[in-house]
Amino acid sequence: MTKKKGIFDFSIKTELLKPKQEQQISKGMSAEKALEMIQRQMKLNGYRERTLKDYDVIFNHFLQETNTEYLEDITVNTIYSWLDGMKYLLQLKVHD
């Protein structure tokens, strides 16, 4: 007696399901790359050099304080946490 193949019989090549170790999963655009793009656009729109420098300092401070590398890492909670830290710093400056 032979078994007939049914329409629901299938086979899976399991090697296709295993992730390749050398394939690195991208987290998206780096925050520094995004900053470069924003600054290029700001220059094209005629922003002054001082504005560009201030933006660079503030954004890099944000990245450093929040340990952020990729845009996908920035959440509402990350921003609120950073802003709360800034409020604390401002209070320290007022009391000095």
Confidence bin at 94 (pLDDT 50/70/90): low
Answer whether residue 25 shows pLDDT above 80. Answer: no
Hey, is 2 helix, strand or coil?
Answer: coil
Res 23: pLDDT: 47
71-92 confidence digits (pLDDT tens): 899 999 999 888 888 776 666 6
Distance separating alpha carbons of residues 86 and 66, to the nearest angstrom: 12
Q: What tokens were used for 69?
A: 């590398």
Which helix (H) or strand (E) segment is 65 a member of?
helix 49-66
